Amino acid sequence: GENVEQHPSTLSVQEGDSAVIKCTYSDSASNYFPWYKQELGKRPQLIIDIRSNVGEKKDQRIAVTLNKTAKHFSLHITETQPEDSAVYFCAAPDTGTASKLTFGTGTRLQVTL
């Protein structure tokens, strides 16, 4: 099955700075890489995803990059704001199944004023 590792486990940045969270995966056949944001007391919500036919995808202040050769992908948040404070999870599909995602262990991002 898929193995997903996520770093760092915690990240503190000042408002306005950039934040980068990195994940590696083990299954070279994986072709879909989502990122979820979970605010305190809320459900995980999909914020951006990328498929293996592109190397980068942007949506306003967030972007995801993918390096299939190295089997890693990253979430980039620019101009961070206090509302970006949350736990972020990466995931990759278990290609031996038709639907299962393997999640990383999460990164707690704290944006300080």
Partner 1 sequence: DAGVIQSPRHEVTEMGQEVTLRCKPISGHNSLFWYRQTMMRGLELLIYFNNNVPIDDSGMPEDRFSAKMPNASFSTLKIQPSEPRDSAVYFCASSHLFPYYEQYFGPGTRLTVT
Q: Which residues bind partner 1 (CB under 8 A)?
A: 31-32, 34, 42-46, 49, 89, 93, 97-101, 103, 105-106
Q: How far is the CB of 92 from partner 1 (least distance, A)?
A: 9
Task: Of 6, 51, 5, 33, give the one whose Cα is nearest residue 93.
Answer: 33
Residue closer to partner 1, measured from CB, 62 or 101: 101
Q: How far is the CB of 14 from partner 1 (least distance, A)?
A: 26
Residue closer to partner 1, measured from CB, 81 or 97: 97
Task: Of 45, 47, 52, 80, give the one whose Cα is nearest residue 68.
Answer: 52
Residue closer to partner 1, measured from CB, 30 or 85: 30
- Can you tell me whether residue 83 is helix, strand or coil? helix
Residue with structure tokens 């990466």? 90
Q: How far is the CB of 79 from partner 1 (least distance, A)?
A: 26
Pair type for strands 10-14 and 107-112: parallel
Residue closer to partner 1, measured from CB, 4 or 77: 4
Residue with structure tokens 């605010």? 39
